Amino acid sequence: MKLTFLNLKKINFYLILILSIFLSNPVHAYAGPGVAIGAIIVFLTVIITFFASFFISIFNFLKNNLFKNKNKQKIKEKSKNKKN
């Protein structure tokens, strides 16, 4: 195998990746309950937003179709009245 610059970059990347996985130290950090509450609020916001947009799109679809039908009926009635 011919060692080129790109092959050396790949070898260095994999070597650093393996060493960082096996020689890593534990992180002693405390996030606290505030982070968990914030994560729950973000999760609930995303879920509520998804369902709200879903129901709004269904409502707009139904509203537009109902108004189109009513407008068509009004136009037909006006055209019948003009003919009489």
Question: For the segment 38-64, what is each residue's pLDDT rounded down to a tens digit?
Answer: 999 999 999 999 999 999 999 999 888
pLDDT digits (tens, 9 = 90+) for 67-77: 776 767 776 77
d(CA 60, CA 66): 10
- Give pLDDT, residue 1: 56
- Give pLDDT, residue 4: 77
- Give pLDDT, residue 40: 93
pTM strictly above 0.75: no
d(CA 32, CA 38): 11
32 sits in the region (left: phi over 0; alpha: psi -120 to 50; else beta) called left
pLDDT: is 17 or 8 the higher one? 17
| Phi (first) and psi of residue 2, to 5 degrees | -85, 125
